[in-house]
Amino acid sequence: MLAGNGLVYPVLGFASCVAFIYMSLGDLRFTFQQPKMGFVERNGTHFFVDGKPLYVNGWNSYWLMDQAVEEFSRPRVRAMLQAGAKMGLTVCRTWAFNDGSYNALQISPGHFDERVFKALDRVIVEARKHGIRLILCLVDNLHAFGGKAQYVKWAWEQGVALSSSNDSFFFDPSISKYFKTYLKTVITRKNSITGIEYRDDPTIFAWELINEPRCASDASGDTLQSAYFEELQDWIEDMATFVKSMDKNHLLTVGLEGFYGPTTPGKLSLNPGEWASEVGTDFIRNFKIPNIDFASVHVYPDHWIAGQELQDQLKFIYKWMKSHIDDGDKELRKPVLFAEFGLSNRNKNFQPSQRDTFYKAVFDIIYKSVRKNRSGAGALAWQFMAGGMEDYK
Ligand SMILES: *[C@@H]1O[C@H](CO)[C@@H](O)[C@H](O)[C@H]1NC(C)=O
Ligand SMILES: *[C@@H]1O[C@H](CO)[C@@H](O)[C@H](O)[C@H]1NC(C)=O
Ligand SMILES: *[C@@H]1O[C@H](CO)[C@@H](O)[C@H](O)[C@H]1NC(C)=O
């Protein structure tokens, strides 16, 4: 083909030759062009890549997939990942879900928008290009982008009998089925650009089952408090087993805030308030689940103990973080990632210097943990935005 065309139509011949190579190499062509990257592994209380310890300095940008859908906003994704890489950050936590909202990935149970999946494909490729790994979160307890309430609404719309509580997300069998369909679709998704299935892609640092789960958020009083703790524990075990049955490459966590629960009564006083002991989460027990590879903790003194002086908030975070690092070393034998920490500029009398002080305190605690070879694995700031996103929350 090449010789024949080449003689008569040299230009066309060259073009078709290029096209032929393009087609015959297909997906592999891109694989070769991607920077090399190993999977993140866990051994004891530390993360490793290619046999070397890995500590995490990273950030949250929940919006990457969302902004990658439409052309006008797409450049923000590259700008953010580029900026992150320039700052020396290596991990970004972001949402790999949008359930039933505008530009939904999952339009209705089991129905996905290929256009939005392609946006997520792009995010993954772009991250790899910049040497950034992604923690992909799979559903939200809160209702932005759908969340657990959207699953409950779907079940209602499909005439499935269940309690009206949004926490039925954690125990209704039909909803579990919806969520597993979603998990399977995402985890086995074949990236349209690279041809690599998500479960085989080392760009993904870890899966996170749910952001900030709380089970008892609309407790009606007719269910015992203890039942909610059991529901959430069972849900995590069930979903973790399901994810690991499909994907043995990636680490798995749950986006817990870190509140102590009934199995560790001696630690309840470390919670930011009594309320935090009653939201259905139980840090030690939840993270002891063998299929969960590392612990996640959030750090929000300005929300949790609002009104206290910065000095008191700093005292709180010191105790809060140190206690969880102790847990990682002694109780869990797993790394502890501080997956969200932040100080909102919407706080009364906010000054940037307060944020500097807060960030420094968090980094100092992590650094000390690293120096002592302890379980504190790193921290992710909440949150970074690209230019033109001033109105986003
Ligand atoms: C985990 O680390 C220990 C030493 O701390 C080592 O003996 C063991 O081989 C490691 N396991 C794996 C799977 O790398
Ligand atoms: C660090 O801790 C791990 C246990 O997670 C241990 O295997 C390793 O030997 C320790 N390394 C040093 C340098 O103490
Ligand atoms: C469930 O969540 C939705 C969305 O946040 C809310 O409108 C609704 O009132 C909640 N249902 C209950 C029973 O609290």
pLDDT, tens digit (0-9, with 9 covering 90-100), for 318-365: 999 999 999 999 999 999 999 999 999 888 889 999 999 999 999 999
| Mean pLDDT score of the chain | 90
- Distance from C-alpha of 146 to C-alpha of 149, rounded to nearest angstrom: 7
The Cα-based distances of 386 to 73, 81, 104, 333 in angstroms read 10, 9, 21, 37
How far is the C-alpha of 240 from the C-alpha of 207, rounded, in Å? 10
| 214 CB-side CA count, 13 A | 16
Tokens for 121? 């494909």
Residue nearest to atom 6 of ligand 1 (CA): 43
Instruction: Report how far ligand 1's centroid is from the alpha carbon of 44 (Å).
Output: 8
CATH code for residues 3-382 = 3.20.20.80
Question: Would you please indicate which residues are annotated as catalytic (active-site) residues?
Answer: 212, 340
Identify the residue whose C-alpha is closest to ligand 2 atom 8: 373
Q: Does ligand 3 lie within 6 Å of residue 153's CB atom?
A: no
pLDDT in tens, 92-115: 999 999 999 999 999 999 999 999
Whether 150 is in the pocket of ligand 3, judged by its Cβ within 6 Å, is no
pLDDT tens profile 76-85: 999 999 999 9
pLDDT at 237 over 90: yes
* Residue identifier of the C-alpha nearest atom 12 of ligand 2: 373
Alpha carbon distance 337, 330 (integer Å): 15
Does ligand 3 have an atom closer than 6 angstroms to the CB of 218?
yes
* SS3 of residue 342 by DSSP: coil
Separation of alpha carbons 329 and 45, rounded Å: 7
Cis peptide before 383 (omega within 30 of 0): yes
Least reliable range by pLDDT among 156-170, 175-189, 302-316:
156-170
CB 337 within 8 Å of CB 324: no
Average pLDDT over residues 181-193: 98
- Can you give the pTM of this predicted structure? 0.91
CB under 6 Å to ligand 2: residues? 44-46, 373
Cα 56 to averaged position of ligand 2 atoms, centre (Å): 17
User: Are the C-beta atoms of 246 and 184 separated by less than 8 Å?
Assistant: yes
Give the ligand at the shortest distance from the Cα of 369.
2
Please state, in angstroms and rounded to a whole number, the distance separating the CA atoms of residues 208 and 141: 12
Of 208, 192, 260, 250, the residue nearest 229 (C-alpha): 260
Calculate how far, in angstroms, residue 374's C-alpha sits from the geometric centre of ligand 1: 16
Ligand 1 in contact with 43 (CB < 6 A)?
Answer: yes
